[in-house]
Amino acid sequence: MAHQETSSQILSEPVSRRLVLGGLATAGALAGAAPVSAKLKAARSWDAIVIGAGVFGAWTAWNLQRRGQKVLLLDAWGAGHARSSSGGETRLIRTEYAANAFYTRWAWESLAEWHALAKRHESPIFQEVGALYFYPKDTAKIDESIALQRSLGIPIEKLTQAQMAKRWPQIDFDGRTVGVMQPTMGALMARRSVQTLVEDFVKAGGGFRTLAVDAPRSDRAALAGIAGNGETLHAEKYVFACGPWLPKLFPEIVGARIVPTRQEVFYFAPDAGDDRFAAPHMPAWVDAGDPDLHYGFPDIEARGFKIALDGHGPKYDPDGVDRRITDQGLADVRAYLAKRFPALAKRPLAASEVCQYENSDNGHMLIDRHPDWANCWIVGGGTGHGFKHGPALGRYVTNLVLGTGKAEPDFTLAAHKVHG
Ligand SMILES: Cc1cc2nc3c(=O)[nH]c(=O)nc-3n(C[C@H](O)[C@H](O)[C@H](O)COP(=O)(O)OP(=O)(O)OC[C@H]3O[C@@H](n4cnc5c(N)ncnc54)[C@H](O)[C@@H]3O)c2cc1C
Q: What is the pLDDT of residues 392-402, one digit of tens each?
A: 999 999 999 99
Categorize the per-residue pLDDT at 321 as very low, low, confident or very high, splitting at 50, 70 and 90. confident
Closest atom of ligand 1 to 92 CA is 8
* Region for residue 189 given its phi and psi (left: phi exceeds 0; alpha: psi -120 to 50; beta: otherwise): beta
State in Å: Cα 154 to ligand 1 middle. 27
State in Å: Cα 52 to ligand 1 middle. 9
What is the distance, to the nearest Å, from the Cα of residue 275 to the centroid of all Cα atoms in its chain?
28
Best of 50, 60, 86 for a ligand 1 pocket test (most atoms within 8 Å of beta carbon): 86
Best of 95, 109, 245 for a ligand 1 pocket test (most atoms within 8 Å of beta carbon): 245
State in Å: Cα 356 to ligand 1 middle. 8
Question: What residues have CB less than 8 Å from 261, skipping those under 6 apart?
Answer: 312, 313, 314, 315, 316, 356, 357, 359
Tell me which DSSP letter residue 212 carries.
P
pLDDT for residue 355? 96
Task: Say if residue 28's pLDDT is above 60.
Answer: no
Tell me which DSSP letter residue 412 carries.
S
Question: What residues have CB less than 8 Å from 372, skipping those under 6 apart?
Answer: 218, 221
**3-state DSSP assignment of residue 269:** coil
Question: What residues have CB less than 8 Å from 358, skipping those under 6 apart?
Answer: 85, 243, 244, 246, 258, 259, 260, 380, 381, 382, 383
Please count the other Cβ atoms lying within 10 Å of the Cβ belonging to residue 314: 9
Categorize the per-residue pLDDT at 5 as very low, low, confident or very high, splitting at 50, 70 and 90. very low
State in Å: Cα 344 to ligand 1 middle. 29
State in Å: Cα 247 to ligand 1 middle. 14
Across all residues in the chain, what is the average pLDDT? 91
State in Å: Cα 164 to ligand 1 middle. 33
Categorize the per-residue pLDDT at 44 as very low, low, confident or very high, splitting at 50, 70 and 90. low
Cβ pair 48, 223 in contact under 8 A: no
State in Å: Cα 168 to ligand 1 middle. 32
User: In 34-167, which residue ranges form alpha helices assigned H by DSSP?
Assistant: 38-42, 55-66, 101-121, 140-151, 161-167
pLDDT for residue 420? 58
Stated pTM of the model: 0.92
Task: Say if residue 19's pLDDT is above 80.
Answer: no
State in Å: Cα 187 to ligand 1 middle. 16
Closest atom of ligand 1 to 56 CA is 25
Q: What integer is the mean pLDDT of 81-88?
A: 97
State in Å: Cα 200 to ligand 1 middle. 19
245-296 confidence digits (pLDDT tens): 999 999 999 999 999 999 999 999 999 999 999 999 999 999 998 878 999 9
Task: Say if residue 37's pLDDT is above 90.
Answer: no
* Region for residue 20 given its phi and psi (left: phi exceeds 0; alpha: psi -120 to 50; beta: otherwise): alpha
Amino acid identity for residue 360 in this structure: S
pLDDT for residue 69? 98
Best of 75, 85, 300 for a ligand 1 pocket test (most atoms within 8 Å of beta carbon): 85
Question: What residues have CB less than 8 Å from 148, skipping those under 6 apart?
Answer: 99, 101, 104
Separation CA 396–CA 387 (nearest Å): 14
Task: Say if residue 307's pLDDT is above 80.
Answer: yes
Separation CA 198–CA 194 (nearest Å): 6
For ligand 1, atom 33, the nearest C-alpha belongs to 52
Q: Are strands 349-360 and 178-182 parallel, antiparallel or unpaired?
A: unpaired
Task: Say if residue 7's pLDDT is above 80.
Answer: no
Structural domains of the chain ordered from first start: 17-415 (3.30.9.10)
361-380 confidence digits (pLDDT tens): 989 999 999 999 999 999 99
**Ligand 1: lining residues by beta carbon, under 6 Å:** 51-57, 74-77, 81, 84-86, 88, 91-92, 212-213, 241-245, 249, 263, 265, 308, 355-357, 380, 382, 384-388
- Planar angle of CA 410, 411, 416, nearest 5 degrees: 80
Amino acid identity for residue 23 in this structure: G
218-239 confidence digits (pLDDT tens): 999 999 999 999 999 999 999 9
**3-state DSSP assignment of residue 348:** coil
pLDDT for residue 38? 45
Closest atom of ligand 1 to 107 CA is 11
Closest atom of ligand 1 to 357 CA is 53
